[in-house]
Amino acid sequence: MLHIAIVEDTPSEAQRLESYIQRFSQEKGEALRHTRYENADAFLREYRSQYDIVFMDIEMPGVNGMDAARQLREKDPSVILIFVTHLSQYAINGYEVDALDYIVKPIGYPAFALKLKRAVTRRRGAREEEITLSTNTGPLRLRASALKYVEIYKHHIVYYTELGEYKAYGVLKDVEAVLPKAQFFRCGGSYIVNLRHVMAVSGMEVLVDGRAIPISRARKKELVAELNRYFSGGGPA
């Protein structure tokens, strides 16, 4: 099931979007549910990477849709975003926040259905490449390829990602459980590396993102074999 957020301050427009989502779900056989927010402040306050698609009105009191989208991207770089606006020129800068599309009011069902179908298709495909990590500041959803490596010291976990560093508290085996086994490898008691980001293996160390990470003697042979498999086409592209 996909979860959709509607951020729209005009009741009639929000109700129209809700009815269109329900109609699309019935016609296409897609399992969809939605949550409605009357303003961006409430949406951002409650956001925990729980949505797959967001319909965001641009012209809202308080935090407008474009500013809200910028804050949203700081929390979640991969959720699918579609703007809703009276004037298309307001959405022209959507590329700044990686918006998939925009819909001009008054919204008609045929145009809405085409855009929602595109969003659902993209989301279904992207889900296979994404992971959700538990961090000290809440859930973090990102593409598996964006996680470079994981380090743990006395239950303190650090995720090194393309978006920066995120910290958590836990054990490495719980982290292993949410990572694609074909793409990640545990080097020993303190590190898990993303095979995609491995640059070299030298002695008892593996180079990832400019950092030399130690490999346990018992795991080196398996690591080399996994790297050969991954880069010969046995792993994710």
Could you read off the pLDDT of 173-231 as tens digits, one per residue?
889 989 988 899 999 889 999 998 999 999 999 999 889 999 999 999 999 999 988 87
Q: Is the peptide bond before 110 cis (omega within 30 degrees of 0)?
A: no
CATH 2.40.50.1020 positions along the chain are: 132-234
Q: pTM value?
A: 0.60
- Half-sphere CA count of 222, side-chain side, radius 13 A: 11
- pLDDT beyond 70 at 234: no
Encode pLDDT of 45-67 as tens digits: 999 888 999 999 999 988 999 99
How far is 172 from 186, CA to CA, in rounded Å? 9
- Half-sphere CA count of 207, side-chain side, radius 13 A: 6
Handedness of CA 188, 162, 178, 199 (dihedral sign): negative
Encode pLDDT of 54-102 as tens digits: 999 999 988 999 999 999 998 888 899 999 988 777 667 777 888 999 9
Band of the pLDDT at 237, cuts 50, 70, 90?
very low
Nearest to 161 by CA among 174, 188, 179: 179
Give yes or no for a contact between 198 and 225, defined as CB atoms under 8 angstroms apart: no
How far is 171 from 236, CA to CA, in rounded Å? 26
How far is 55 from 76, CA to CA, in rounded Å? 15
- pLDDT beyond 60 at 154: yes
Distances (CA, A) of 165 to 51, 138, 158: 23, 14, 7
Domain 132-234 has CATH 2.40.50.1020: yes
Give yes or no for a contact between 206 and 187, defined as CB atoms under 8 angstroms apart: yes
CATH 3.40.50.2300 positions along the chain are: 2-127
| 2-127 to CATH, choices 3.40.50.2300, 3.10.150.10, 1.10.240.10, 3.30.1490.20 | 3.40.50.2300
- pLDDT beyond 60 at 235: no
Q: Is beta strand 191-194 parallel, antiparallel or unpaired with respect to 53-57?
A: unpaired
